[in-house]
Amino acid sequence: MQPRNRRLATSALLPLGALAAGFGLATAALAQAAPATEPVESSLPIVRGKASAERSGKESYQAVDTRIGKGKQELRDIPQSVTVVTEKLMDDRNLDTMKEALKNTAGISFMAAEGGEEDIRLRGFSLQATGDIFSDGMRDPAFYERDTFNYDRLEVLRGSASMLFGRGSTGGAVNQVSKQPLLMTQGEVAATLGSGDYLRLTADANLRTGEESALRVNAMVTDAKNFGNKIDKKGVAAAYRFGIGNVDEVLISAYYLDNNNGINYGLPWIAKSKTDSTRVMLPIDARNYYGAASDYNAGSVTQGTLSHTHRFSSSNEIKTTLRLASYDRDQRASAIRFTTAVTADTLNDKTVLTRSGGGVHAKIMDMNTAYLQSDYSGKHQWFGFTHNVQAGVDLAHETFNNYGISPLSPVMLKPSTTIGTPNDGAAVDESRRITRLTSDFDAKAVGVYAQDLLQLNPHWKLLGGLRWDRFDGTYGQPELRNAAGTITQAQATRARVDSLWSKRAGVLYQPSATQSYHLSYSTSFNTSGDTYRFDALGSNTPPEGSRNTELGAKLDFFDGRMSTRVALFYTDKYNERNRDELTVNATNYVLSGARHAAGLELDISGRITPQWEVYGSYAYIPDAKVDKGSAVNGTSLQGEAVGSRPGLTPRHSGTIWTTYKLNDAWRIGGGLNARSSDSPQLAPTIVAPRFVTADLMAEYTQGNLSFKFNATNITDELYADVLYRGHYVPGKPRTFQVTMAHKF
């Protein structure tokens, strides 16, 4: 492989830093000039125990605040739906990856894309890994399998959110919240053994290093044969925090994750019979793995973050964060297909499966990112009203390189296998393949936003927000030739600059401390360069737009121990990119498409009694439709057919989980996961059947030592978890795990 450029474009940070510094000075002046709800203090008293009193996701399934909305806010003050999966829920259910954690938020589905990466869908709209996944409020744009070992919680903001995050965020945004150093000395080590020769070791150590400083280190190693689809990963995260609770607080952190996993590309759909062409799942054990032993999905991420918080008073602060990150990905997969026509009623152990599907299905790329952002949050008294103001600027420089397999590589055909011989150990020498650069992308972005939550009286609040973004992308592709020397890709450079405004508005009615009702409207946009490439038509096409309207409520019960969220929503993308139906060979796409989804969502989390804890999330989407598209003589040019229900939009989806503490030593739990029937995109005749799976847990604690038993999918239900029109990935089969943990 050619050497990869790991140098971050630090020169680009100079003007970005100047702009952020200018914003910081402006907001500092604003905070000093405007009268706050309490006098602005020249210095704050040292709060020795503040960090130890902070609520972490380890304590409960219930969350009462979030930083996903820019600045720390109570969930009841956000007029938009937010689902929070806390660390305690992830621990109780043994959710080791972000994907598994997201399955505990209703309305989520996954597409098994051609590159093996999983395209997340929320409310029927895409959450792209390149734009809609965040880590501590900063974009985390690369394709890699995210692990939960350093999660304090996972937050899902539902509905259009470009006013907060910029490009993307049509269906919503996912924010990974990292564990923070606390003013205490404590820790935990844990070991998990399970089905598929699964072994996972984790450590979480928090050390108080001074009166106002602390260090926290989290580490993880996971290894499993996993019935042929191996797991081999390790990670470490370290964070040092000082000035905790003071006027100036600093956080320095580093994160590293290395994956060298296998990859289950999926299984092909199969016709039901010779007389019934309906395509269904293969009636075989979900443990059967038919990829080559040499297939792998390797990837790594290295992040360094420096964050400074300055508090003008107890209710006014500005937080500035710089993050540099580097990502690598190298995937080699097998597309499993049939060699001859076969149906479900003729399938047998001797049925032959190929492992190539016309290519090696390699996805090789690297990415460097630099982000700098400043966020101000403050409470002010202006014109006789209380204003909760949030404002900020964020700047980004991203470089992306994509590689492919060279035609000069040796020809290595993966051997076929049969239904009756899964995990047969067949392999090729992937190291012999020669790679070459096929494209690169350089993106620069800047966003400026301001939002005001205006309190009209003790019960009514109005929210208004506006954001401006500029995205400048340059795509390049080198000249490529085949083994005979014929040009297969001409050298080209394409560039595009987009500037766009995003809006957010809402009204909240809060008649009591336990009730909050809201009506909100928000917008979002997607540029042609969101996936770090421009094709010839997309480089001439302006951004798509979408909007979300939501009516909802957040209610607390049982003296605040239980929180519920309910929302009615309507989300529509009103100018989706399409081929021009009048001039098929036009030089750009036209924004003629439209689709929508409308439904109901419900979340519950907290304690019914001090011993009885529950978490649930449910989504019902009865109305989803492709409203407009492009066609010539009735034939669709691109996308799903007009009038159809979009794929990956199940009508019902949800999960329920509950635990009960029998006594000081024993705690038991269980839950259900369910999804109604669904179809992949562009394949309405394929229907993945509905399913319900059940999980169980039992935990015994004696002093600082605990033993936990988990049984997942106890009925061994066979179901299609991740969908694509050519294949699907089966859901996790019945698995057992035992975890031993020691606190110190």
HEC assignment per residue over 5-39: CCCCCHHHHHHHHHHHHHHHHHHHHHHHHCCECCC
pLDDT band at 696 (very low <50, low <70, confident <90, very high): very high
Higher-pLDDT residue of 542 and 580 is 542
Q: Please state which of the ranges 145-154, 160-169, 535-544, 637-646 shows the lowest mean pLDDT.
A: 637-646
Those residues whose C-beta lies under 8 Å from the C-beta of residue 30, and which sit 6 or more positions away, are 376, 378
* 405-434: average pLDDT: 94
DSSP per-residue letters across 320-344: EEEEEEEEEEEEE----EESS--BT
DSSP per-residue letters across 179-242: P---SS-EEEEEEEEETTTEEEEEEEEEEEEETTEEEEEEEEEEEE-GGGS-EEEEEEEEEEEE
Q: Please state which of the ranges 55-59, 96-100, 183-187, 567-571 shows the lowest mean pLDDT.
A: 55-59
Would the pLDDT of 506 be above 70? yes
pLDDT band at 45 (very low <50, low <70, confident <90, very high): very low
Let me know: does 439 contact 402? Beta carbons within 8 Å. yes
Task: Please give the share of the chain, as a percent, with pLDDT higher than 90.
Answer: 79
pLDDT band at 357 (very low <50, low <70, confident <90, very high): low
Query: Rounded to 10 degrees, what is the CA torsion of 157, 158, 161, 164?
Result: -20
Assign residue 56 the CATH number of its domain.
Answer: 2.40.170.20
Q: What is the pLDDT of residue 50?
A: 47
547 membership: H or E segment, kind and range: strand 544-557
CA distance 235 to 230: 17
In a domain, 346, yes or no: yes
pLDDT band at 356 (very low <50, low <70, confident <90, very high): confident
Higher-pLDDT residue of 23 and 716 is 716
In a domain, 3, yes or no: no
Sign for the pseudo-dihedral over CA of 379, 381, 382, 384? positive
Q: What is the pLDDT of residue 636?
A: 57
Q: What is the pLDDT of residue 294?
A: 95
pTM, to two decimals: 0.92
Q: What is the pLDDT of residue 126?
A: 85
In a domain, 5, yes or no: no
Would the pLDDT of 32 be above 80? no
In a domain, 401, yes or no: yes
Copy the structure tokens of residue 159: 């509905």
* 31-43: average pLDDT: 40
In a domain, 566, yes or no: yes
CA distance 7 to 21: 24
Would the pLDDT of 14 be above 50? no
The gap from C-alpha 538 to its chain's centroid, in whole angstroms, comes to 25
CA distance 296 to 261: 6
What is the spatial order of strands in the sheet that 352-354 belongs to?
337-338, 352-354, 417-418
Query: Rounded to 10 degrees, what is the CA torsion of 32, 33, 38, 39?
Result: 60
Would the pLDDT of 24 be above 50? no
The residue among 617, 618, 685 whose CA lies nearest residue 647 is: 685
Most confident of 56-60, 247-251, 265-269: 247-251
Average pLDDT, the chain: 90
Please state whether beta strands 492-512 and 460-477 pair in parallel, antiparallel, or not at all (unpaired). Answer: antiparallel
Would the pLDDT of 322 be above 90? yes
How many domains in the chain? 1
CA distance 165 to 156: 13
Q: Please state which of the ranges 486-495, 533-542, 547-556 shows the lowest mean pLDDT.
A: 533-542
DSSP assigned state of 410: P
Q: What is the pLDDT of residue 115?
A: 57
Q: What is the pLDDT of residue 478?
A: 97
Higher-pLDDT residue of 209 and 171 is 209
Would the pLDDT of 178 be above 80? yes
Residue 538's identity, in one-letter code, is G
In a domain, 679, yes or no: yes
Residue 635's identity, in one-letter code, is T
What does each C-alpha distance from 236 to 56, 141, 216, 258, 295 come to in angstroms?
A: 20, 20, 11, 9, 25
In a domain, 2, yes or no: no
CA distance 300 to 261: 11
Sign for the pseudo-dihedral over CA of 274, 278, 284, 287? positive
Let me know: does 266 contact 112? Beta carbons within 8 Å. yes
The residue among 296, 287, 383, 285 whose CA lies nearest residue 334 is: 296
pLDDT band at 737 (very low <50, low <70, confident <90, very high): very high
50 membership: H or E segment, kind and range: helix 50-53
* 458-475: average pLDDT: 97
Would the pLDDT of 523 be above 70? yes
Higher-pLDDT residue of 197 and 634 is 197
Q: What is the pLDDT of residue 637?
A: 57
What's the first-to-final CA gap in the chain, in angstroms? 46
Would the pLDDT of 12 be above 50? no
- Whose structure tokens read 């539902």? 158
In a domain, 113, yes or no: yes
pLDDT band at 3 (very low <50, low <70, confident <90, very high): very low
Task: Please give the share of the chain, as a percent, with pLDDT higher than 70.
Answer: 89
Would the pLDDT of 403 be above 60? yes
Q: What is the domain extent for residue 39?
A: 10-743
Higher-pLDDT residue of 39 and 277 is 277
* 226-235: average pLDDT: 97
* 708-737: average pLDDT: 96
Q: What is the pLDDT of residue 633?
A: 54
Would the pLDDT of 4 be above 70? no
Higher-pLDDT residue of 587 and 522 is 522
Would the pLDDT of 602 be above 90? yes
